[in-house]
C-alpha cells in the first residue's frame, strides 16, 4: 500500500468502478462490495472508493455534488492515450483537453502531457505522462 491513498466518498461504487476500472484502466486490488468499498490501483497510483451511507463514513460537512471541489488528483501513467481512447469511445466529456506542459523545477523543466476529467461524482482527475526534462528556458 502506498504511503498516501485517498479515499473518495462516492454516491454509487458500481458506477464509480465503471469509470475508474472500465474506462481508466484501474484494477481492483480488493473489494468489499457488501460495504460499498473498493481498493483500486493503476501504475502505482492507489485509490479507495467508499459508497456514502453503506458503512461508516467520515464526513466533516455537507456533501454537495460535485464532490472534491478545490482538489485535483494527479495520476502519472506510462501513457495517457489508452485512457483518452476509452473515454472518447464512451463519449465521456473531458474537463480539459490534452496539453503538453513544462513545469519549472529549479534549473530544469519537467514536461508532461496531461488532461483533466471528472469522475461520476465530480472528483477532478488529472492524468499525465512524463515527456522528459530540459534546461530551464527564460522567456
**How far is it, in rounded angstroms, from Cα 14 to Cα 17?**
5
Which of 72-104 are b and which e, b meaning 16 or more Cβ less than 10 Å from the residue's Cβ?
ebebbbeebeebbeebeeeebeeeeeeeeebee
For 12, residues 6+ apart whose C-beta sits below 8 A from its C-beta are: 51, 120
pTM, 2 dp? 0.90
The pLDDT value given to residue 53: 82
Q: Of 23, 12, 76, which Cα lies nearest the Cα of 49?
A: 12
DSSP class of residue 33? Answer: G
pLDDT digits (tens, 9 = 90+) for 16-50: 999 999 999 999 999 998 999 999 999 999 999 99
Q: How is domain 7-55+71-135 classified at the CATH fold level? A: 2,3-Dihydroxybiphenyl 1,2-Dioxygenase; domain 1 (3.10.180)
What digits encode the pLDDT tens for the residues 73-121? 999 999 999 999 999 999 999 999 999 999 999 999 999 999 999 999 9
CB of 57 within 8 A of CB of 9?
A: yes
**CA 92 to chain centroid:** 14
For 47-67, how does the pLDDT look when each residue is reduced to its tens digit (9 = 90+)? 999 999 877 778 888 888 888
Break the chain into its structural domains and give their ranges.
7-55+71-135
DSSP 3-15: S---EEEES-HHH
Amino acid at each position: 500500500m502506498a504511503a498516501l491513498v485517498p479515499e473518495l466518498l462516492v454516491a454509487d461504487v458500481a458506477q464509480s468502478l465503471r469509470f475508474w476500472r472500465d474506462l481508466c484502466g484501474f484494477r481492483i486490488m480488493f473489494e468489499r462490495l457488501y460495504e460499498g468499498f473498493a481498493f483500486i490501483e493503476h501504475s502505482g497510483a492507489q485509490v479507495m472508493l467508499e459508497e456514502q451511507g453503506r458503512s461508516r463514513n467520515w464526513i466533516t460537512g455537507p456533501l454537495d455534488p460535485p464532490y472534491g471541489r478545490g482538489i485535483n488528483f494527479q495520476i502519472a501513467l506510462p501513457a495517457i492515450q489508452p485512457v483518452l481512447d476509452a473515454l472518447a469511445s464512451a463519449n465521456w466529456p473531458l474537463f480539459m483537453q490534452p496539453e503538453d506542459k513544462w513545469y519549472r523545477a529549479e534549473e530544469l523543466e519537467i514536461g508532461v502531457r496531461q488532461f483533466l476529467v471528472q469522475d461520476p461524482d465530480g472528483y477532478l482527475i488529472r492524468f499525465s505522462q512524463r515527456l522528459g526534462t530540459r534546461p530551464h528556458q527564460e522567456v
